[in-house]
A and B are shown apart, each in its own frame.
Chain A
Amino acid sequence: MHIPDSLLPPAIAIGGYAITGGTTWYALRQINKDHDPTQNIPKASLLTAAFFVASLIHFPVPPSSIHLILNGLMGIILGYYAFPAILIGLFFQAVLFGHGGISTLGVNALLMGIPALYAHHCYQWGQGWVKKYPLGSTIWTFFTSASALLLSAFLFVSVVIANIPADLDTDLERQAILISMIGYGIQSLIEGTIGVMVVSFLWRVKPELLPHGGERGSPF
Chain B
Amino acid sequence: MARETRTVTPRGREGVAILGIDRYAHLKSPVHRWQHPPKLLGLLSLIFTFAGVERLQLLPLMVGVTAGLYALSRLPFSFLWGHLRYPGLFIAGVVVFLPLVQGETVIVQWGAVAVRWEGCLTVVLIVTRFVCIVTVSLVLFGTAPFVSSLKAMRSLGLPKLLVDMALLTYRYLEELAEMRLRMQRAMTLRGFRGDRLTKRNLERLADLVGTLLVRSYEQSQRVYQAMILRGYGQPTTEQDQTWQGIHAYSWWGLVLTLVIACSFWIAPLVL
Residues of A that sit less than 8 Å from B by CB: 2, 4-10, 13-14, 24, 28, 31, 37-39, 41-54, 56-62, 67, 70, 77, 84-85, 87-89, 91-92, 94-99, 101-103, 160, 164-168, 190, 193-194, 197-198, 201-202, 205-206, 209
Contacts and interface: CB of A to CB of B under 8 A. Distances in A.
A84 B165 contact: yes
Contact of A84 (B50, B161, B202): B161
Interface string B207-224: 111111111110111011
Contacts of B48: 10, 13-14, 103
Contacts of A44: 165
A17 B178 CA distance: 33
Contacts of B229: none
15 contacts: A10-B51, A13-B51, A42-B221, A45-B165, A48-B169, A49-B216, A50-B212, A51-B213, A61-B197, A62-B195, A94-B137, A190-B202, A205-B210, A206-B214, A206-B217
B44 A47 contact: no
A54 B166 CA distance: 17
Contacts of B1: 56, 67, 97
A35 B88 CA distance: 46
A54 B180 contact: yes
Given A46-B220, A50-B215, A56-B2, 19 more contacts: A5-B129, A6-B127, A13-B51, A28-B161, A28-B162, A41-B161, A46-B172, A48-B165, A52-B169, A54-B209, A59-B197, A60-B194, A60-B195, A60-B196, A70-B209, A98-B86, A165-B98, A198-B206, A202-B213
B136 to A, nearest CB: 9
Contacts of A38: 232-233
A194 B209 contact: yes
B216 to A, nearest CB: 4
B213 A77 contact: yes
Interface residues of B, number: 81
Contacts of A52: 169, 173, 176
Nearest to B203: A197
A166 B165 contact: no
B2 to A, nearest CB: 6
B64 interface: no
Contact of B177 (A8, A53, A84): A53
Interface in B94-117: 94, 97-98, 101-103
